Amino acid sequence: MSVSFGAIKALSNVTLSINDDSDICGIIGPNGAGKSTLLSVIAGEVSPSGGTVELFGDSNKKKLNPETVNRKGISRTFQIPRPFFGLTVERNIVTCGLGVNNLNDSQEKAKRLLKILELDKHAHSTAGQLNLAGRKRLELAKALMTEPKVLLLDELFEGLNEQEVDSLVNIVKNEIASSSIKVVLVEHVISALRKLANKVYVLNQGELIAEGETEEVLSDEVVIEAYLGK
């Protein structure tokens, strides 16, 4: 599958399968490698200029509207959280469930997620009052509201301190273990990647340059060179 933005080739002939043995697959690569574009294309926000995205037996070549994406069971978080800053944390979460649930169900689900993500004490603060770690957790809570089958996480751990990373890693692990969600994890925070992903794909300038078991890939010379830009 390929994606172009005008003259820019963001992805060239990338093939990736998230249907295999691993529940969490990681995507790494330097800035501009095409990682976020890859998530956008899986989420149907951007259409491939060549090739297809296949999910659960359906193949797709077009841009999809957000309702279709939710119905297909895909959910994503954004690198830069985009909550409604003036609404309460709880309201932000409830709202995300309304496309697939009635208000009551949405409120019940939101309560559970507020607790799991340790946001319950901030439920009635506005999203704008949260610190970065809180915003990242809110971003995850919002994405989980539609009970996705595929969860796309874009640099969820970026900017968090070690303790915040560890606590969020455990939350993601528990949530995945208690469901059958497949996760695609775009991540620069290697400690989080190591703890979560069993398989890793490496993108560089829009091309897939390596894939395999996490530790193997992370110790690959070619990967280290591309990744560190040496």
Positions that interact with ligand ADP (CB under 6 A): 5, 8, 10, 29, 31-37
Q: Applying CB under 5 A, does 204 fall inside the site for Mg ion?
A: no
Least distance (Å) between residue 184 CB and ligand ADP:
13
Q: Total binding residues for Mg ion by CB under 5 A?
A: 2
Q: What are phi and psi of 53, to 5 degrees?
A: -110, 120
Q: Which of 48, 5, 43, 63 is nearest to 148 (CA)?
A: 43
Least distance (Å) between residue 35 CB and Mg ion:
5
Task: Tell me the torsion sign for CA atoms 43, 37, 28, 153.
Answer: negative
Least distance (Å) between residue 49 CB and ligand ADP:
12
33 binds, among Mg ion, ligand ADP, none (CB under 5 to 8 A by kind): ligand ADP
Q: What are phi and psi of 7, to 5 degrees?
A: -80, -10
Q: Which of 215, 197, 205 is nearest to 157 (CA)?
A: 197
Q: Draw the binding track, 18-37, toward Mg ion (x: CB under 5 A; -: no contact).
A: -----------------xx-
Q: Which of 3, 74, 73, 82 is nearest to 38 (CA)?
A: 3
- Would you say 35 or 182 has its CB closer to Mg ion? 35
Binding-site ranges for Mg ion (CB under 5 A): 35-36
